[in-house]
Structure 1
C-alpha cells in the first residue's frame, strides 16, 4: 500500500514539473533569505502560525474531554482515548494536531539551520532567533511526546528526509532539554514582542519538563529561578469577576503571563465556542456546546462553593442532562470573534509545580512548597496572595501523600479548561490515572488508550514507521 501511494505521488510530481518550469520564481532561495532581521522574523512567525491553529480549539477541547472535570457532548462524547470509533487511525482531531505540530517543527528547523549562515545579523541577534526557534521546537516536541509516545525526531539535520523512524521517548526528551538550555542562554530577559518567549519562558517550560519526567530537584531549581526573579506575580482577585483581569479578552498582558499563545479579533481563539452553549450572554454567537461538565461530578461536588474560581468558572445550562454546567472562564462578551489569549504558562503554574516538586524531592511537605500553594489558594478565595489568610493550609496537617494529593487537586481547580488536566493525570502513571477517571466517570481506561494513534497520514506514507501505538 505504501509503495502504491508513493508511486502515485511521484507520478503526480512528474506531471506537474512541466508546469512548474514555466512559472516565474515565487520565492527567494533559502540561502539568501535568512539575512536581515525582517527576513528572519518572517521565518519565526511561520513557526507560530501552526501552533496558533493547534491551540485555537480542537486540541485543547480534545484534552479536556479526557479529564475528570469535563466531557464531550454529541460528536465530542468520549472523543478522546476511551472511544473506539473517533480515535482510530482516521481520527481527524488528533491527526490535525500532529500535522500542525510537525509543520511548526519544520519551520523551526529552517531557522536553526539557516540563521547561523546569515551575513548581516550579529551573533547576539542570531542566538536570540535560534533560541526562540529552539524554545518553540522544544514546546512542540513536549506536546508530541506526551500524547503520542515514541515519535519521528525531525531536526535541522534530517527534516528534509521523508522516511524517519520513531525515536525512543528518552531521545525526544534529551533534545527537548538540550533545546531549552540553548534557549535559556539565547533568549532576552524580556520578550521583544508580546507573545514571544523570554529566557524566563524557557526556564518555566524546562521546569515543567523536569516535573513531568519526575526529576523533581531540577524542577525545583528551575521553578525557583522564575519565582525568585521577581518578574511575575499573581493577578489579585477579591470577587469572581476580577478573574476577567486574568482571563478576559480585553487583557493584553498581565503580571502572571510567562508565555501565552496570542489571539485577536482578526485571528480569533475559537476555543470559547466549544465551551459555550446557545443563547448565552458570555459570547456574541451560538457556541458549539461541545465540552461540558455536571454539578454532580465528584470533582465539582468536592469543590468548595466559596472558591471564587468555581463561582467564576461555571454557569448552569438547560437543555441537556440535569445538572449540566458550562465553563465561562474564557468569554468575550458580545464578540463574534473571541480574542482571549491561551495561558500556556502563567505564574500560578510555576507556583504549583514548585509546591508539589519540593514535597516529592524532600519526601516531606516543605515551607516553601506550602507557601507557594497557599499563594494560589489565597487568591482563589479573594485574599491577598502574599499575606497569611484564614484559608491557608497548615503544613502540620499533611504527609507526603496527602500533600501531593492536595497539590494535584489544587492544580485541577486552578487550570480548569486550560487543556492541562489530562496531561497532569497521565503524569501520575496509568494506575493513578485509571483510578481518577474510574472514580469520576465509571470508565476503565484500557492500557492501549493512554496515547493517541500515529495518524494515518504519517503511518501510511512514512515507510520507516512499522508499528502503531497499541490499541489501534
Structure 2
C-alpha cells in the first residue's frame, strides 16, 4: 500500500544524502507543512528529493540487507547458511504474508513514488537551468523505471503507478501485464538515455550517479531479460545487443587488469578513474564518528568472524560447490606428497575464500585457517572482504559499494545476445567471452601460475636431485622438485604452482641442467564450448557464474534461461549423492568425496529443503498481503 504523500515526509526521506556528491547529509530539518508549490519553488529541494529517490537503493529491504542474502539466495552460487529459523524466501516456501516479500514490494514503490514527486514538480522551481532540469528528469525517469524493472522481475504483473499518490483511494489500481511493464521500462530508460546524453562517466568522480552509459548498460540487461523467460519477447535480443554495443563503443569503460582490484576499491569506497569497469554502484559510506548511512546488510555476506580487526561478518551464505568447481583447476602433489590443487583462473580463490577465520577479538586479528582443496561444502564467499576496508571497521556498518552493473557483464550480455540472434557463436561473440576470460587468467596483467616445468637440458652426473629455483618478478610461492635417473634430470614436478608469475619467469637448476616454465594459458574457450549455439550458451552461463557471482544476478539469470527449478532440484540431488559437476569428457572437475554430508546432518537441509519446495510458482514472489488487502483490483500470482 502506498502512503499518502506529505511534503515533510519527502523532505526527511530525501535528506539522506546531498545531491551534489551523493555523500553528505543535508543539514536542513523540516519544521512545518509546506505546499508542493512552496517546497519545490527551491531548486535545492527538488534535487534533494531526487537524492531521496536514489536512497531507496540503500534501504535494508534492498541492497542494504535483505536483497543480498535473502531474496537473491538460494542458487547454484550461494546458499543460505544459518541454522535455526531460516527465512522462507531462500527455501522457496514464502507466502504473501512473508516480511521480506512485503518489504521489497513496499520499498520499491516508495522509490517510485518519490520519483513521481520529482517528475511532477520539474517545472515548479523558479530558478533552474534547462540542462539541470533535463538531467534531473533523466535520472528520475531512469530510477523509476529501474524500480519497476525489479518489481516485474520478482512479482510479474504489477500496478503501474506513474503519478504521486495523493490519497488512500488511489491504491486501487489494476495490474499491468509483465510484458507491458517491460515495454514501458524500456521506453522510459530510452528516453532517459537521451536526456542524459551529456552526463557521461567522465562527469563525476564516483559511480553512484546515473550516467548515459549506466542507462545503456542497464537497458541491455532489461532487454536481455525481456527476451528470456517468462516474457519471451525474443525481438528484444536485438535491442540488448544495440545497447551493449553503445557502452562498448563509448570507449569510456575497460576491464581492470586485476579482477580483485574491482572489489578492493569498492571496499574502500574508491573510484576507479583509470578503467571505470564498475559502471553504476549502490553507494554506502561510513564515518566512524557520526555514521552517515547505516548499512548492516553489508556484513551479512562474507567470511564470518566476530573480530573487529578483520571486520565482523555474520557469514549467512555458503558457496555452493558448483561455483567453486566450475573454475578450471590444476592438480598437483606437494613436496610432502599431499594432493592439492590451484586454479589458473584468478577469480576462484578470490570469489570463494580459501580460508576461514578463527579466534580474534576487538584488538587481535583472527587466524586464517586454509580450507582443504577438496572441501566443497561450507565454504564462504570472499568477493568483498572487510579486511580490505579502511580501519576502523564498524561492527554493523560497512563502506563497501555494491556494483549494479559492470563492464564485464556488458561484454557477456552482448555475446549472449549475438548467439541468440545468429543461432551460433560468431567470432565476435567468442572474442567477447575470451576477453573476460583473458583477464581472469592473468593475460591483462601478466600474472600466471606455473602449471609445468619442461626440462631442456638433462645435465649429467647427478647423484641426488638438484635444487630447483623459480624466479619471476611479482611471483610468489612456486616450488618444484627435480627427478633424476641415470645421473640425469629426467623431470621436474611442480609442488606449488604459486601465483603472480610473469612470462619472463625463469628456472635455475644446480649442477648444469636447464629447464623452462610452463605458465597457464589465456583461458580461451575450447572447441567443445563453441561448437554450436547451445554449447556456447552453456559456456556463457558458466562464465556469468564465475565472473558475476554474488552480484545479485544469478537467480534471475536462471529464471530467464528457464532452468531455475531444474537447477535447484539438481542441487538437492547432489548433496545427498555426493555427485558433482563434470568436465565435458565426463570426468570430475577435481576428485570428490562421495558423501559430503550424512543425510542426518542438519546442514544438509539448506540444500535439500529448497529442492523439495521449489515449484513453478517460484518464478514469481507472492503479491504481498497488504497489497491484496488495500488494492481491490489486486490479483495474486498463481500458486500462492
Please report the TM-score for the alignment, with normalisation by the length of structure 2.
0.64
- Distance, in Å, in 1 between the alignment partners of 2:115 and 2:555 is 27
For 1:301, the equivalent position in structure 2 comes to: 325
- Distance, in Å, in 1 between the alignment partners of 2:309 and 2:431 is 37
Deviations 1:414-434 (A, max 9, x none): 1111111001111112xx222
For 2:318, the equivalent position in structure 1 comes to: 292
Worse-matched range after superposition: 197-206 or 55-64: 55-64
Shift of 1:159: 6.8
The 1:438–1:158 alpha-carbon spacing in structure 2 relative to 1, beyond 3 Å, is same
Q: Which has the higher contact order (CA 8 A, sep 6+)?
A: 1
- Distance, in Å, in 2 between the alignment partners of 1:433 and 1:123 is 46
For 1:59, the equivalent position in structure 2 comes to: 67
Determine which of 416, 420, 425 is the counterpart of 1:365.
425
Contact 2:260 2:347 in 1 (8 A): no
Deviations 1:304-361 (A, max 9, x none): 2422111111224489x98311112112225123111110011111011011111111
Shift of 1:464: 2.0
The 1:325–1:45 alpha-carbon spacing in structure 2 relative to 1, beyond 3 Å, is same
Worse-matched range after superposition: 173-182 or 190-199: 190-199
Question: What aligned pairs does 1:339-350 form with structure 2 within 5 A after superposition?
Answer: 339-350=399-410
The 1:276–1:298 alpha-carbon spacing in structure 2 relative to 1, beyond 3 Å, is closer
Contact 1:364 1:399 in 2 (8 A): yes
Determine which of 185, 189, 195 is the counterpart of 1:176.
185
Verify: 1:352 aligned to 2:419, yes or no: no
- Distance, in Å, in 2 between the alignment partners of 1:322 and 1:400 is 31
Determine which of 416, 420, 440 is the counterpart of 2:571.
440
Q: Which runs of 5 or more structure 1 residues have no equivalent in the other structure?
A: 3-8, 11-23
The 1:422–1:362 alpha-carbon spacing in structure 2 relative to 1, beyond 3 Å, is same
- Is the radius of gyration larger for structure 1 or structure 2? 2
- Distance, in Å, in 1 between the alignment partners of 2:439 and 2:296 is 28
Question: What aligned pairs does 1:358-397 form with structure 2 within 5 A after superposition?
Answer: 358-384=418-444, 390-394=522-526, 397=530
Shift of 1:65: 1.7
Verify: 1:450 aligned to 2:619, yes or no: yes
For 1:21, the equivalent position in structure 2 comes to: none
Question: What aligned pairs does 1:156-171 form with structure 2 within 5 A after superposition?
Answer: 156=163, 161-171=170-180
Contact 1:358 1:366 in 2 (8 A): yes
For 1:314, the equivalent position in structure 2 comes to: 352
For 1:204, the equivalent position in structure 2 comes to: 217
Question: What aligned pairs does 1:395-410 form with structure 2 within 5 A after superposition?
Answer: 397-410=530-543
Determine which of 377, 383, 398 is the counterpart of 1:323.
377
Verify: 1:113 aligned to 2:246, yes or no: no
- Distance, in Å, in 2 between the alignment partners of 1:356 and 1:209 is 14
**Bigger share in strand:** 2
Q: Residue 383 of structure 2 aligns to a residue in which SS?
A: coil
Question: What aligned pairs does 1:66-215 form with structure 2 within 5 A after superposition?
Answer: 66-72=74-80, 73-74=82-83, 77=86, 79-80=88-89, 82-84=91-93, 87-156=94-163, 161-187=170-196, 188-190=198-200, 193=204, 194=206, 195-214=208-227, 215=236
Determine which of 285, 298, 323 is the counterpart of 1:264.
285
**Bigger share in helix:** 1
Q: Which runs of 5 or more structure 2 residues have no equivalent in the other structure?
A: 5-29, 228-235, 330-342, 359-374, 447-519, 574-610
- Distance, in Å, in 1 between the alignment partners of 2:63 and 2:272 is 18
Please report the TM-score for the alignment, with normalisation by the length of structure 1.
0.86
The 1:437–1:351 alpha-carbon spacing in structure 2 relative to 1, beyond 3 Å, is same
- Distance, in Å, in 2 between the alignment partners of 1:450 and 1:220 is 25
Deviations 1:227-279 (A, max 9, x none): 01100001111xx7545445433423451121111111132543342123543
Aligned CA-pair RMSD: 2.9
